[in-house]
C-alpha cells in the first residue's frame, strides 16, 4: 500500500478539485449592474442605488451606449469616484486607483468563466480601414500588401496577449481587413475597440529648453500661439487625486528615438501608488537611449504614445541600463493594453472601425448540439465499457475520468482559455490519454495477479511498472504542446493550451487520484479479488514477420497521398487556406446554415456560411457566404466574375429555399484566413517538436527509438490526411487540428511499446532482439486495442450523430486512431529492429521460431 497518509492525500485532492470547480463560476455571463453591486460596500444603499438608476436612465436614452460608459458618466455627473463605494478589501487586493479600474473589474466579473470560440458561440466582426501615416504614405502605397499583412500579424499578436487565440483576421479587399473575434458582450467589444485603435507608435521627444516661457506665451494667447520652428505643442490631461490637470509642453517635431527597439513592456505601480509601464530595450535601443539621455542631462524628455503625451520627466543622469518607464493616470486595463500593443509592435497605419457586426457560430447550433450530445453519448459508452470490462476497477477509472474533465474545464476557466473545436480536440485526446493511463495500470495489475501476486502487491507493482510508460507518453505529448504554444498562432495555440492542461490533469488523476481511490477501496472494503474481463490473452504473433505487408501498405498509402495531392492541386485546400468571394444576402426566412451549405455544395459551390447582425439598433440579420471558385473554374474567373457568382448563388439558394426569398446585397474578395505566416510557424513548430522529442527519447530510450518514433509520427499524419483526401476531403483548420491530435495519439501508442521493450531487454536474457520486440508487442496488444477501441467509440458516435459541421474533423481523427494503432504495432518496432540488425549481439543468432513459454513467465 502507498505509505503516504490517505487523509492528507484526500484533503489535497479535494482542495485541488474545489479550486478548479470554483474557477468555473459563473459559467454564463452576468448582469453588469449585479456584478457592480457584488463589489460594493453597501449594494442597496442610497448612493449605489442612485448611481445605477442614473446609469440606466442614460442607457435608456441611448441604447447603443455601453453599460460601463453609462455608469462612468453617471458617476462623473454626481462627482463620485467609484472606488469610494467599493469594498476596501477589494480596492486593496485588486490595486484599484480610480473609476476606470472599477469598471475593468466589473467587466471581468460579468464575463462567463469559459469563453467559447466563434465556431461554437459566434462573436463579433470588425471591418477595419487602414489609413497610412502621412510620413510613410508613399512607401506604404508602393507595397501595400506587405504592410497590410504586417498589420494583420500585429493585431493577431495583440489579441494573443489578451488570451484571444482564435481570431480570424484576413484581407477584405482594398485598404480593409476583416477581424472576427470570439467575444459577445458589449463590454468586451468596448475594450477591444480601444486595443484595435492603438497604432502603438511610441516616440521620445525633447522638450523645449525654455518650456515654461513658451507655456506662458501660449496661455496668454492660445488662439494665435505659434510654436518655435522645429517644435510643436502637446496638450494632455492627467488625473491626480480625482482632479484633472492640464499638461502643456512644447516638444521637438523630430523624435530622438521610437519604440521599434523595445524588447518588453509590462505594467507596474511605483512607490506612490501610481501606475506606470516599465520598458526594456533591445541592445541597439539601450545604446541609443543611453546616448539620448547622456547628451541631454537636465532637459525634459517627453514620452508620446499614438500622438498623446503621457509624461515628460527630467533627465537627471545618463540612463545606460536599457530601461525606461511611462508614468500616467492609467487604469489597469489601459496599462495592460498599452504594454500589449508596445510588445506586439507598432503599425504604420491608423485603424478606424468602419463596421461592426455580431456573427452567429460558424458551426450551426444544431451541429453544436449534435456534437455535444454525441460526445457525451460516446463518453457514456466508454464509461460503460470500462465498467463492464474492469468491473470494480472500472468504477475507479470512471470517477477519475469525470474528475479529469472537471479539472480541464476548471483550468480553462482559470487561465482564460477559449474553447473551440480544436480545443475540444485537445480534450478528446486528453480523455483518451486518461483512459490509456488507466488501461495501462489495470493491465499491469492483471499481469501481476496472474503471476501469483496478492491483490495489494499486484496493485503496488501495477502502478509502479505502468508509471514510466505513463510519464514518458505524457511528457512527449507535453513537448508537442509547449512548442505549439511557443511558436503556434490562432487555433493551434488554443489546441496547445488545452493539450498542455490535459497532460497535467491526466498525470494528476491517473497517477495520484486513481491510486488514492484504490487505497481507499482496499482500506475500507475487503478486496480479495479484482474481477476483469480479458479480451485478448497474450498471443504469440510474429508481427515483425509481417514486415512485407506493413511496408507495402505504408508505401502505397504515402505514394497515393502525394499522387492525390498532385492531381487535385489547390482543390485539396479548403476556403480557410484559399479565401474566396464574400457575398451577403437579405432574406425573409432564416434557413439553418447547415442546410444552406449542403445545398450550395450539391451544385458545386465550396462555401462557408455565417449569419451576422450589424451593430445598429435597427440592423437586420443578414446571411454571409464565402464562395471558393466553382469546380472547374479558375481563381481568376471566380474573382473577376463576382456578379456572375452572386447571380448563380442567389438562384441556387432561391431554388432550394423559395420561401426565404434571398436577395444579394454586397460582394467582395476575401483573403485566406490561414496565411503564409501561419503555415510557416505551424511547420517550424512541428519540426522543433520532433527535434526535442528526439532528444528526450534518446535520453530516456535510445537514439534509434527516437528516430523510429518521429518517422512513424510523420507517417501517421501523412496517411491519416491522405485517406481523408482520397475520400474527397479538403484540408481546413479543423483538419489541421485533427492532424495535431493524431500526433498525440500516435506518440502515446509508440511510447507504451518502447517502454515494454526497454523493460524486457533487462528481464529476458535468453531471447533474440527479434523475439523481445515481438514479445513486447504481444504483451501490450490488449492495452493498444482497448485504448484505440475506447477512443474510436467516441469518434464513431460523433461521426454518426455529430452532424456535417464536425464530420471532417472527426473523420481525420478516426483515420488517425486506426493508422496510429497499425503503425505502433507493425512499423515502429520494425524500424528499430532494422536499425539494430547490423550490431545485434550473439543472442540475436538464437532461434527465431515460436516465442518460448518461459519468456512470458520471466516477463
Residues 251 and 231: beta-carbon distance below 8 Å: yes
Range among 100-109, 287-296, 744-753 rated most confident: 287-296
Residues 122 and 358: beta-carbon distance below 8 Å: yes
pTM of the model: 0.67
Residue 329 pLDDT more than 70?
Answer: no
Residues 697 and 706: beta-carbon distance below 8 Å: yes
Residues 821 and 784: beta-carbon distance below 8 Å: yes
Written as one string, the DSSP assignment of 768-791 is -HHHHHHHHHHHHHHHHHHHHHHH
pLDDT tens digit string along 544-553?
888 899 999 9
pLDDT tens digit string along 407-444?
988 888 887 777 776 667 667 767 777 888 898 899 89
Report H helices in 32-183: 32-38, 46-61, 67-78, 88-93, 99-110, 118-121, 137-142, 144-161
Range among 318-322, 619-623, 706-710 rated most confident: 706-710
The residue-averaged pLDDT of 364-370 equals 64
Q: Using CB atoms within 10 A of its CB, is residue 15 exposed (0-12), middle (13-18) or buried (19+)?
A: exposed
The neighbour count for residue 153, using CB atoms within 10 Å, is 18
The neighbour count for residue 258, using CB atoms within 10 Å, is 15
Residues 91 and 322: beta-carbon distance below 8 Å: no
Q: pLDDT band for 557, please (50, 70, 90 cuts).
A: very high
Residues 6+ apart with CB under 8 A from 323: 278, 279, 280, 281
Considering the chain, what is the average pLDDT of its residues?
81
pLDDT tens digit string along 825-854?
999 888 888 887 654 543 444 444 444 444
Q: pLDDT band for 124, please (50, 70, 90 cuts).
A: confident
Q: Using CB atoms within 10 A of its CB, is residue 668 exposed (0-12), middle (13-18) or buried (19+)?
A: middle
**What are the backbone angles phi and psi of residue 133, rounded to the nearest 5°?**
-65, 135
Task: Give the CA-trace dihedral at 366, 367, 372, 377, to 10 degrees.
Answer: 90
Q: All 3 cell numbers of residue 514?
A: 486513481
Q: All 3 cell numbers of residue 342?
A: 508596445
Whole-number Å distance between alpha carbons of 747 and 516: 27
Residues 439 and 783: beta-carbon distance below 8 Å: yes
Residue 362's pLDDT is what? 64
Instruction: Tell me if the bond preceding 26 is cis, omega within 30° of 0.
Output: yes
Task: Give the CA-trace dihedral at 271, 273, 277, 279, to 10 degrees.
Answer: 0
Name the residue among 624, 730, 681, 612 with its Cα closest to residue 156.
681
Instruction: For domain 202-346, give the fold.
Output: Gyrase A; domain 2 (3.30.1360)
Residue 9 pLDDT more than 80?
Answer: yes
pLDDT tens digit string along 143-199?
888 888 888 878 887 887 777 767 778 777 778 888 888 876 666 777 788 777 776
Residues 6+ apart with CB under 8 A from 202: 258, 259, 262, 303, 304, 305, 342, 346
Cα 44 from chain centre: 41
Lowest mean pLDDT among 171-180, 239-248, 592-601, 645-654: 239-248
Name the residue among 548, 615, 581, 111 with its Cα closest to residue 356.
615
Whole-number Å distance between alpha carbons of 510 and 396: 10
Whole-number Å distance between alpha carbons of 177 and 196: 12
| CATH number belonging to domain 123-199 | 3.30.70.3400
Whole-number Å distance between alpha carbons of 221 and 31: 50
Reported as type and span, the H/E element at residue 125 is strand 123-132
The residue-averaged pLDDT of 199-211 equals 86
Residues 303 and 342: beta-carbon distance below 8 Å: no
Name the residue among 430, 400, 394, 398 with its Cα closest to residue 412.
430
Whole-number Å distance between alpha carbons of 749 and 158: 38
Cα 477 from chain centre: 16
Same CATH fold, 580-670 and 123-199?
yes
Range among 335-349, 618-632, 743-757 rated most confident: 743-757
Q: pLDDT band for 619, please (50, 70, 90 cuts).
A: low
Domain boundaries, the chain: 30-110, 123-199, 202-346, 365-561+677-858, 580-670
Name the residue among 477, 489, 479 with its Cα closest to residue 422.
489
Reported as type and span, the H/E element at residue 369 is helix 365-390
Residue 39 pLDDT more than 80?
Answer: yes
Lowest mean pLDDT among 330-339, 643-652, 660-669: 330-339
Residues 6+ apart with CB under 8 A from 34: none
Lowest mean pLDDT among 368-382, 526-540, 686-700: 368-382
Residues 149 and 677: beta-carbon distance below 8 Å: yes
Name the residue among 214, 248, 245, 244 with its Cα closest to residue 229.
214
Q: pLDDT band for 504, please (50, 70, 90 cuts).
A: very high
Report H helices in 613-763: 635-640, 642-656, 676-700, 703-726, 733-763
**What are the backbone angles phi and psi of residue 175, rounded to the nearest 5°?**
-95, 20
Residues 730 and 571: beta-carbon distance below 8 Å: yes
Task: Give the CA-trace dihedral at 841, 846, 850, 854, to 10 degrees.
Answer: -80
State the CATH architecture for 580-670.
2-Layer Sandwich (3.30)
User: 3-class SS at 424?
Assistant: helix
Cα 664 from chain centre: 35
Whole-number Å distance between alpha carbons of 491 and 192: 19
Residues 693 and 709: beta-carbon distance below 8 Å: yes
Whole-number Å distance between alpha carbons of 802 and 373: 8
Whole-number Å distance between alpha carbons of 483 and 496: 8
Name the residue among 415, 357, 428, 359 with its Cα closest to residue 118.
359
Whole-number Å distance between alpha carbons of 636 and 471: 53
Q: All 3 cell numbers of residue 457?
A: 502487491
Residue 332's pLDDT is what? 74
Written as one string, the DSSP assignment of 242-267 is TEEEEEEEEEESS-SEEGGGEEEEEE
Reported as type and span, the H/E element at residue 238 is strand 231-240
Residue 842's pLDDT is what? 38
Residue 33 pLDDT more than 60?
Answer: yes
Work out the percent of the chain whose per-residue pLDDT is above 70: 86
pLDDT tens digit string along 558-601?
999 999 999 988 888 877 777 778 888 888 888 888 788 889 88
Lowest mean pLDDT among 247-261, 593-607, 842-856: 842-856
Residue 745's pLDDT is what? 74
Residue 752 pLDDT more than 80?
Answer: yes
Q: All 3 cell numbers of residue 433?
A: 490519454
Residue 16's pLDDT is what? 92
Q: Which residues pair with 148 in a beta bridge?
A: none
Whole-number Å distance between alpha carbons of 586 and 577: 27
Residues 6+ apart with CB under 8 A from 149: 675, 677
Residue 208's pLDDT is what? 93
Residue 856's pLDDT is what? 40
Q: Is the dihedral of CA 833, 749, 783, 698 positive or negative?
A: positive
Residue 111's pLDDT is what? 66
Q: Which residues pair with 303 in a beta bridge?
A: 204, 311
452 conformational bin, left if phi > 0, alpha if psi -120 to 50, beta if neither: left
Rg (CA), the chain: 31
The residue-averaged pLDDT of 264-282 equals 81
pLDDT tens digit string along 446-494?
888 888 888 889 999 999 989 988 888 888 888 878 877 776 666 667 6
Residue 803's pLDDT is what? 65
Residue 663 sits at the vertex; the CA angle it makes with 660 and 665, to the nearest 5 degrees, is 140
First to last CA, the chain: 23
Work out the percent of the chain whose per-residue pLDDT is above 90: 17
The residue-averaged pLDDT of 287-301 equals 91
Q: Is the dihedral of CA 196, 199, 202, 203 positive or negative?
A: negative
Residue 603 pLDDT more than 80?
Answer: yes
Q: Which residues pair with 613 in a beta bridge?
A: 358, 621
Residue 797's pLDDT is what? 82
Q: All 3 cell numbers of residue 796?
A: 464513431
DSSP designation for 671: -
Amino acid at each position: 500500500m502507498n505509505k503516504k497518509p490517505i487523509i492528507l492525500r484526500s484533503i489535497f485532492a479535494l482542495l485541488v478539485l474545489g479550486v478548479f470547480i470554483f474557477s468555473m463560476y459563473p459559467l454564463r455571463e452576468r448582469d453588469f449592474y449585479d456584478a457592480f453591486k457584488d463589489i460594493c460596500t453597501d449594494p442597496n444603499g442610497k448612493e449605489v442605488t442612485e448611481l445605477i438608476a442614473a446609469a440606466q436612465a442614460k442607457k435608456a436614452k441611448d441604447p447603443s451606449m455601453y453599460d460601463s460608459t453609462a455608469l462612468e458618466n453617471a458617476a462623473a455627473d454626481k462627482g463620485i469616484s467609484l472606488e469610494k463605494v467599493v469594498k476596501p478589501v477589494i480596492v486593496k487586493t485588486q490595486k484599484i486607483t480610480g473609476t476606470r479600474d472599477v469598471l475593468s473589474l466589473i467587466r471581468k466579473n460579468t464575463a462567463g468563466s469559459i469563453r467559447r470560440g466563434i465556431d461554437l458561440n459566434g462573436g463579433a466582426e470588425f471591418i477595419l480601414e487602414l489609413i497610412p501615416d502621412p510620413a510613410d504614405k508613399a512607401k506604404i502605397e508602393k507595397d501595400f500588401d506587405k504592410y497590410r499583412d504586417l498589420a494583420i500579424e500585429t493585431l493577431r499578436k495583440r489579441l494573443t496577449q489578451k488570451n484571444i487565440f482564435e481570431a480570424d483576421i484576413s484581407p477584405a479587399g482594398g485598404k480593409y481587413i476583416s477581424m472576427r473575434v470570439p467575444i459577445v458582450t458589449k463590454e468586451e467589444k468596448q475594450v477591444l475597440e480601444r486595443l484595435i485603435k492603438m497604432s502603438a507608435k511610441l516616440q521620445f521627444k525633447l522638450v523645449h529648453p525654455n518650456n515654461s516661457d513658451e507655456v506662458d506665451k501660449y496661455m496668454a494667447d492660445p488662439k494665435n500661439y505659434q510654436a518655435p520652428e522645429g517644435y510643436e505643442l502637446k496638450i494632455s490631461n492627467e488625473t491626480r487625486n480625482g482632479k484633472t490637470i492640464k499638461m502643456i509642453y512644447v516638444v521637438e517635431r523630430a523624435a530622438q528615438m521610437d519604440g521599434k527597439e523595445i524588447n518588453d513592456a509590462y505594467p507596474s505601480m511605483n512607490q506612490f501608488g501610481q501606475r506606470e509601464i516599465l520598458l526594456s530595450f533591445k541592445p541597439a535601443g539601450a545604446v541609443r537611449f543611453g546616448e539620448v539621455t547622456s547628451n541631454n542631462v537636465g532637459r525634459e524628455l517627453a514620452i508620446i504614445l499614438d500622438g498623446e503625451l503621457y509624461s515628460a520627466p527630467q533627465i537627471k543622469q545618463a540612463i545606460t541600463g536599457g530601461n525606461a518607464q511611462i508614468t500616467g493616470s492609467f487604469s489597469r486595463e489601459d496599462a495592460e493594453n498599452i504594454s500589449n500593443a508596445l510588445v506586439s509592435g507598432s503599425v504604420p497605419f491608423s485603424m478606424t472601425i468602419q463596421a461592426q457586426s455580431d456573427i452567429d457560430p460558424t458551426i450551426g447550433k444544431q451541429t453544436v448540439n449534435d456534437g455535444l450530445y454525441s460526445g457525451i453519448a460516446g463518453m457514456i459508452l466508454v464509461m460503460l465499457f470500462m465498467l463492464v470490462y474492469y468491473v470494480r476497477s472500472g468504477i475507479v477509472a470512471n470517477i477519475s475520468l469525470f474528475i479529469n474533465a472537471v479539472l480541464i474545464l476548471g483550468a480553462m476557466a482559470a487561465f482564460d482559455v477559449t474553447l473551440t473545436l480544436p480545443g475540444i480536440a485537445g480534450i478528446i485526446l486528453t480523455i483518451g490519454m486518461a483512459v490509456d493511463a488507466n488501461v495501462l495500470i489495470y493491465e499491469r495489475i492483471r499481469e501481476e495477479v496472474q503471476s501469483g501476486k496478492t491483490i495489494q502487491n499486484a496493485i503496488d507493482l501495477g502502478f509502479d511498472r505502468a508509471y514510466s510508460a505513463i510519464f514518458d507518453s505524457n511528457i512527449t505529448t507535453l513537448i508537442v504542446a509547449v512548442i505549439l504554444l511557443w511558436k503556434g498562432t490562432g487555433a493551434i495555440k488554443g489546441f496547445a493550451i488545452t493539450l498542455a492542461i490535459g497532460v497535467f490533469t491526466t498525470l494528476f488523476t491517473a497517477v495520484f487520484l486513481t491510486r488514492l481511490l484504490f487505497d481507499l477501496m482496499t482500506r475500507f472494503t475487503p478486496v480479495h479479488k479484482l474481477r476483469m474481463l480479458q479480451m485478448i490473452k497474450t498471443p504469440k504473433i510474429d508481427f515483425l514477420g509481417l514486415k512485407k505487408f506493413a511496408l507495402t501498405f505504408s508505401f502505397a498509402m504515402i505514394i497515393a497521398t502525394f499522387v492525390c495531392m498532385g492531381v487535385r492541386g489547390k482543390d485539396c485546400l479548403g476556403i480557410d487556406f484559399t479565401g474566396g468571394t464574400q457575398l451577403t444576402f437579405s432574406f425573409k426566412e432564416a434557413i439553418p446554415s447547415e442546410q444552406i451549405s449542403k445545398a450550395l455544395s450539391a451544385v458545386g459551390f465550396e462555401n462557408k456560411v455565417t449569419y451576422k447582425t450589424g451593430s445598429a439598433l435597427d440592423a437586420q440579420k443578414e446571411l454571409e457566404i464565402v464562395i471558393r471558385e466553382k469546380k472547374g473554374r479558375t481563381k481568376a474567373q471566380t474573382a473577376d466574375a463576382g456578379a456572375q457568382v452572386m447571380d448563380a448563388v442567389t438562384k441556387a439558394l432561391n431554388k432550394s429555399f423559395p420561401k426565404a426569398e434571398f436577395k444579394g446585397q454586397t460582394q467582395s474578395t476575401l483573403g485566406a484566413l490561414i496565411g503564409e505566416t501561419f503555415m510557416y510557424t505551424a511547420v517550424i513548430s512541428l519540426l522543433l517538436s520532433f527535434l526535442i522529442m528526439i532528444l528526450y527519447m534518446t535520453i530516456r530510450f535510445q537514439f534509434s527509438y527516437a528516430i523510429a518514433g518521429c518517422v512513424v509520427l510523420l507517417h501517421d499524419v501523412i496517411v491519416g490526411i491522405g485517406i481523408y483526401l482520397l475520400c474527397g476531403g479538403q484540408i481546413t483548420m479543423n483538419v489541421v487540428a485533427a492532424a495535431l491530435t493524431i500526433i498525440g495519439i500516435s506518440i502515446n501508442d509508440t511510447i507504451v511499446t518502447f517502454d515494454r521493450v526497454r523493460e524486457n531487454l533487462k528481464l529476458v536474457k535468453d531471447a533474440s532482439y527479434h523475439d523481445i520486440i515481438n514479445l513486447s508487442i504481444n504483451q501490450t496488444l490488449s492495452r493498444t486495442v482497448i485504448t484505440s477501441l475506447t477512443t474510436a467509440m467516441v469518434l464513431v458516435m460523433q461521426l454518426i450523430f455529430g452532424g456535417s459541421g464536425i464530420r471532417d474533423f472527426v473523420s481525420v481523427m478516426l483515420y488517425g486512431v486506426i493508422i496510429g494503432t497499425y503503425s505502433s504495432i507493425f512499423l515502429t518496432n520494425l524500424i528499430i529492429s532494422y536499425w539494430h540488425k547490423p550490431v545485434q549481439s550473439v543472442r540475436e543468432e538464437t532461434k527465431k521460431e515460436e516465442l518460448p513459454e518461459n519468456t512470458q513467465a520471466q516477463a
